[in-house]
Chains A and B, each alone.
Chain A
Amino acid sequence: MAKIKISKNAASIDMTAMCDVAFLLLTFFILTATAKTPEALPVTTPASTVEVKLPDTGLVMLTIGKSDGKDKVFFGMKDRDVRAKTLELMAAKYKLSFTPEETAQFALIDEFGVPIQALKQIIAMKAADRNKEGLQPGIPLDSLDNQLKDWIYTARQANIELGNDKELDFAIKGDAKQEYPNIKKIMDILQDQKINSFNLVTGARGKDF
């Protein structure tokens, strides 16, 4: 009679396949990764079913949100060379001067929301300190001191002077709870410069809306 062998269960499992899959996924995530950048003014965008992607370059983002109980507008340019050139032109306009180091540092800032007179302090800060809530008061946009208008205008000017063929695109990233007049104000500033077409940044929405 042949003995019935009870096969002993191996204490260790073969992990080769698991390891392969794990590293495959890892490679995928590393390659597709674009690091999340901390937002200077966090907003919750409203959802929509439209799925047009925002361009990666040649874009100016106007963020409208509320922090500290005040409505604020932040200004952000996507391209670093446009940022540097815009600062240069803005400095000339407001009779301020920025050192080359400050300009280089400014080119690394994604978004800011201070009057240009206070921009030096923001540039001098560490990146982590800049995004503290309530630190940046927003860009002035009332009729007496409409710096937002100048930023938009000079950014477009800088874009042309840099020799880019494509005009800058403008995107409005508003908080869902913002009241319409605030958004209207920004649209009016854009329309005053004959920018009649722009993007509204939205999130994705489920199909059963």
Chain B
Amino acid sequence: MAELNTGDGGGKKGGGKVRSKKQNSKVDLTAMVDLAFLLITFFMLTTSLSKPKSMDLGLPDKEDDPNKKIEMKTDQRRTLTVILGANDQIKWFHGLLEAPEPNGKPQTTGYGKEGIRKELLSRVASVPQVTGEKDKGLIVIIKPTKKSTYKNLVDILDEMAICKVPTNAIVNDFSPEENKLAEELNKSAE
């Protein structure tokens, strides 16, 4: 470009004014913006921004020797048993199955804020008053049946976190009566 200008200027000395070409100060940025947005789109699609979250789960020590099993006696007023069944159904009862606490008879419900959460929240609040000691709160015993899914387990553990249940345990042993309840629950879901 520079050579072209000097050549022109030299040729027409006597003629009209030598006009220095005004350089356009603006650069056309359209292509550059196009490219930048293309790259942004590419990076947005190929990156995983949200790292997977996780939930901590602590289980008690496993006792291999069945004779060594220690029977732990817990206050029946504090225990709420939750049986996880097929098709996202829950059967729960408060206290002992044969002698449930007030309003604690076996009932069928679901997950989420319309389901088990109401019961959990009210009992998290009421149990310490019944026992009379603040650190003796609700104990939730989670019993997943063979038909329940991994999602159900995570959901109920999530409920524990949401309702701030002080103690919870995953138990895999079913008493014969509980087994009957679980079977009923799974049959009704089919």
| A residues in contact (CB < 8 Å) with B | 12, 14-16, 18-19, 22-23, 25-26, 29-30, 32-36, 45-54, 64, 171, 173-184, 187-188, 191-192, 194, 196-205, 208-209
Contacts and interface: CB of A to CB of B under 8 A. Distances in A.
Given A180-B144, A180-B148, A49 B46 contact: no
Interface stretch (B9-17, B95-103, B131-139, B154-162): B154-162
B150 A171 contact: no
Given A12-B26, A22-B40, A25-B40, A180 B153 contact: yes
B72 interface: no
Contact of A179 (B33, B48, B51, B149): B149
Contacts of B59: 187, 191, 196-197
A176 B32 contact: no
B53 interface: yes
Given A194-B61, A196-B61, A199-B57, A26 B43 contact: yes
B56 A197 contact: yes
B26 A49 contact: no
A203 B49 CA distance: 13
Nearest to A197: B58
Interface string B43-87: 110111111111111111110000000000000000000001000
Contacts of A12: 26, 28
Contacts of B46: 33, 35-36
Contact of B54 (A32, A33, A175, A200): A200
A26 B158 CA distance: 37
5 contacts: A16-B29, A54-B54, A183-B150, A188-B62, A197-B58
Contacts of B61: 194, 196
Given A49-B162, A187-B59, A200-B57, A35 B47 contact: yes
Given A29-B43, A34-B47, A200 B152 contact: no
A22 to B, nearest CB: 4
Given A177-B149, A196-B58, A197-B59, A50 B53 contact: yes
A201 B30 CA distance: 44
A46 B52 contact: no
Chain B: interface size category: 35 or more
A204 B157 contact: no
Nearest to B161: A50
Determine chain A's interface SS by DSSP, over half rule. Answer: mixed
A200 to B, nearest CB: 4
Given A25-B40, A179-B148, A48 B52 contact: no
A52 B170 CA distance: 21
Given A48-B154, A180-B144, A194-B61, A53 B51 contact: yes
Nearest to B54: A199
A183 B28 contact: no
B147 interface: yes
Contacts of A175: 150
Contacts of B161: 48-50
A33 B47 contact: yes
B29 A184 contact: no
